[in-house]
Amino acid sequence: MEGLTALALAIALLGVGLWTLIVRRNLIWKLLGLNVASSGAILFLVALAHRPAARPPITGLGPGPSADPLPHALVLTAIVIDFATLALALVFVIVLTERRHTQDVRRLERDEEHGWPER
């Protein structure tokens, strides 16, 4: 994939993710939007590593320019973190669903205003 295409796609993903995050009222959808948005940021970093006619940044692949290896290393870390975050967030959404029987943010907020049991 060319660098510029990847860049455009990255910004599109970020936009779609953030849009979902704001417009959807369901917590699961919000988390999905969040994940799509961070995929956008990740794709953006991958696109940054692009050099015209470059080989992968692995030693022993021969001469010529190689892609920038640093963003790849960053992306790997970011992907792992995103996975951990999503898993943890889903656990707490499950707890909320079990105890309040809804994943709707506005309903949760309205209920909270009217008072929740302490436990």
**Which stretches of the chain bind another protein, using CB under 8 A?**
14, 17-18, 21-22, 27, 30-31, 34, 37-38, 40-42, 44-45, 48, 69-71, 73-74, 77-78, 81, 84-85, 88-89, 92-93, 95-96, 99-100, 105-106, 108-109, 112-113, 116-119
* CB of 60 vs another protein, minimal distance in Å: 18
Nearest CA to 48 out of 75, 76, 68 is that of: 68
Q: Long-range CB contacts (< 8 A, 24+ apart) of 70-77?
A: 71/45, 71/46, 72/46, 74/45, 75/42, 75/45, 75/46
* CB of 9 vs another protein, minimal distance in Å: 14
Integer Cα distance of 73 and 80 in angstroms: 11
Nearer to another protein, 44 or 67 (CB): 44
- Please provide residue 104's backbone torsions phi and psi, each rounded to the nearest 5 degrees: -85, 120
* CB of 62 vs another protein, minimal distance in Å: 22
* CB of 61 vs another protein, minimal distance in Å: 19
